[in-house]
């Protein structure tokens, strides 16, 4: 789960990492109030879960109230790289003397934590890595060893922080690590970690996190009260929300064929098969969602899944693809019929079963003689049929 900058900076501040004063605002009236409180000049920053906002015109320095309102009215309706702006952060402007880059992320190949850092920050780290690969340091924090202040000091020195900044950089590295570890993050990135202050006054200079990007490990949500405080009321998809309330792995894709399967790999192949069928048939029909019912799915799980998928008004047909392992196809079949009993409706379902209790499952479906339930032997055939039925239903409606 990715956080907005305004949420990420809260987690940094909780660890005692210096961040500029800032207020999140969602309309120009709130922006004006926030800017008056923060003081001028201040920075108006688009809140979107994507980087390169500065280059896209989503970060602007303003010098008075009128300018703040003008920029708010320009930035709030923006869509940056396909992401609708959710609001803006009104942040205290700092005088930047130098920009560093530091991130901590999970390194799957070395099974530990990657610290990526450069003392030549400022531009995007990808660009620095391309043009000056020697300037980008890649260090590691062991998964089992202790990362303490001494280790952080050694790391700060090897990254190449200026002498005057080494001690403060070490403190920030250590706090970043605590932020990463305590929040079950997969990424904590500060870019820029800026040296700020008055160039002529040595004592005014300090390091400050001017931008923050944090991703949390969704599998650890249960240890953090489901991260309710990071709920996104603006962008939340009602179907995704309902699915997560039932503990289902659902992603809304906005096509016409609902897809339900067990196991992420099987569901993804099913999505491909549906997209391929839609293209082949020349209808452009596409999957409406990803929904993985997981292993050992019960009647209950199947019922909730169908409820959610069928409540999507864009859905014209549903492809159910289950390879019974722990999951019994018999249970899935019962769930399908119970759901249809409860939900009524007349959208066609195409079912493909294989593996554990597939024959029993198919027998139960056949015995119901429900005209909306179709059975196919292979995944390809089922995807083709589901795509064709969806296109026909759409056509009939048009
Ligand atoms: P990003 O483009 O999405 O990474 O957004 P950032 O928050 O990193 O902002 C982009 C750039 O705007 C930074 O690299 C800075 O150069 C500049 N910037 C952000 N905050 C301030 C500030 O307080 N003062 C000044 N002078 N520049 C800022
Ligand atoms: Mn940045």
Topology, domain 238-397: Rossmann fold (3.40.50)
For 61, 91, 94, the CA distances from 39, given in Å and listed in that order, are 12, 9, 12
Q: Which atom of ligand 1 is nearest to the CA of 92?
A: 23
Tokens of 23: 């207020």
pLDDT at 247 over 90: no
Q: Does residue 10's CB lie within 6 angstroms of at least one atom of ligand 1?
A: no
Annotation marks residue 167 as catalytic = no
**Residue 234 confidence (pLDDT):** 67
In the chain, what are the domain boundaries? 21-92, 96-228, 238-397
Q: Does residue 54's CB lie within 6 angstroms of at least one atom of ligand 1?
A: yes
Considering only residues 13 and 83, tell me which one the structure prediction assigns the higher pLDDT.
13
Is the previous residue joined to 192 through a cis bond, with omega within 30 degrees of 0? yes
Task: Answer yes or no: are the C-beta atoms of 340 and 324 closer than 8 Å.
Answer: no
**Residue 98 confidence (pLDDT):** 95
Phi-psi region of 122 (alpha: psi -120 to 50; beta: other; left: phi over 0): left
**Residue 294 confidence (pLDDT):** 86
Q: In terms of DSSP H, where are the helices of the chain?
A: 5-14, 28-38, 65-75, 125-131, 149-159, 166-182, 238-245, 264-280, 299-310, 329-343, 358-368, 379-397
Question: Residue 95 Cα, ligand 1 centroid: separation in angstroms?
Answer: 11
Average pLDDT score, the chain: 94
Which region among 4-18, 182-196, 225-239 has the lowest average model confidence (pLDDT)? 225-239
CATH 3.30.470.20 fits 96-228, yes or no: yes
Annotation marks residue 189 as catalytic = yes
Q: Which ligand is nearest to the CA of 42?
A: 1
Confidence category of residue 166, pLDDT binned at 50, 70, 90: very high
Q: Which CATH architecture has domain 21-92?
A: 2-Layer Sandwich (3.30)
Which residues face 213 on adjacent strands? 189
pLDDT at 217 over 70: yes
Sign of CA dihedral 252, 258, 263, 269: negative
- The model's pLDDT over 305-356, given as tens digits with 9 standing for 90+, comes to 999 999 999 999 999 999 998 889 999 999 999 988 888 778 999 999 999 9
pLDDT at 235 over 80: no
Confidence category of residue 218, pLDDT binned at 50, 70, 90: confident
Coil, strand, or helix at residue 214? strand
For 268, 332, 339, the CA distances from 303, given in Å and listed in that order, are 21, 9, 5
- The model's pLDDT over 132-152, given as tens digits with 9 standing for 90+, comes to 888 899 999 998 888 999 999
Of the chain, the percentage scoring pLDDT greater than 90 comes to: 81
Confidence category of residue 226, pLDDT binned at 50, 70, 90: confident
The reply to whether 325 sits in an annotated binding site is yes
- The model's pLDDT over 199-214, given as tens digits with 9 standing for 90+, comes to 999 999 999 999 999 9
Kindly report the protein residue whose alpha carbon is nearest to atom 21 of ligand 1: 93
- The model's pLDDT over 50-99, given as tens digits with 9 standing for 90+, comes to 989 999 999 999 999 999 999 999 999 999 988 899 999 999 999 999 99
Task: Answer yes or no: are the C-beta atoms of 102 and 115 closer than 8 Å.
Answer: yes
Tokens of 247: 């503990």
Confidence category of residue 244, pLDDT binned at 50, 70, 90: confident
**Residue 142 confidence (pLDDT):** 94
Sign of CA dihedral 230, 248, 104, 43: negative
């Amino acid at each position: 789960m990715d956080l907005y900058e305004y949420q990420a900076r809260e987690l940094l501040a909780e660890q005692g990492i210096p961040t500029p004063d800032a207020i999140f605002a969602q309309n120009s009236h709130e922006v004006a109030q926030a800017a008056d409180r923060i003081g001028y000049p201040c920075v108006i920053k688009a809140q979107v879960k994507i980087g390169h906002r500065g280059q896209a015109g989503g970060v602007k320095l303003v010098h008075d109230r009128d300018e703040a309102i003008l920029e708010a009215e320009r930035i709030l309706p923006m869509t940056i790289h396909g992401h609708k702006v959710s609001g803006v952060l009104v942040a205290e402007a700092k005088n930047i003397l130098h920009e560093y880059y530091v991130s901590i992320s999970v390194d799957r190949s070395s099974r530990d934590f990657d610290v990526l850092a450069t003392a030549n920050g400022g531009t995007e780290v990808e660009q620095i890595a391309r043009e000056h690969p020697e300037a980008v340091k890649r260090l590691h924090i062991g998964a089992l060893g202790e990362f303490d202040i001494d280790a952080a000091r050694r790391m700060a020195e090897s990254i190449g922080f200026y002498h005057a900044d080494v001690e403060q950089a070490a403190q920030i590295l250590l706090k970043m690590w605590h932020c990463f570890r305590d929040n079950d993050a997969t990424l904590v990135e500060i870019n820029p970690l800026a040296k700020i202050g008055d160039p002529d006054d040595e004592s005014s200079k300090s390091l400050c996190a001017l931008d923050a990007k944090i991703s949390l490990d969704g599998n650890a949500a249960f240890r953090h009260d489901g991260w309710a405080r990071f709920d996104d009321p603006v962008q939340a998809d009602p179907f995704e929300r309902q699915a997560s309330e039932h503990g289902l792995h659902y992603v809304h894709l906005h096509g016409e064929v609902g897809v339900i399967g067990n196991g992420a790999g099987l569901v993804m192949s099913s999505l491909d098969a549906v997209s391929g069928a839609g293209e082949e048939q020349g209808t452009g029909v596409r999957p409406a969602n990803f929904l993985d019912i997981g292993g050992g799915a019960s009647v209950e799980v199947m019922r909730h899944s169908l409820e959610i998928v069928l409540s999507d008004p864009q859905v014209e047909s549903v492809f159910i693809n289950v390879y019974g392992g722990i999951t019994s196809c018999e249970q899935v079949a019962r769930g399908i019929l119970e759901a249809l009993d409860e939900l009524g409706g007349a959208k066609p379902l195409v079912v493909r079963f294989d593996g554990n209790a597939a024959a029993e499952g198919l027998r139960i479906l056949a015995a119901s003689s429900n005209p909306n339930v179709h059975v196919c032997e292979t995944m390809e055939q089922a995807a083709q049929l589901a795509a064709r039925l969806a296109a026909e239903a759409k056509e009939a409606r048009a």
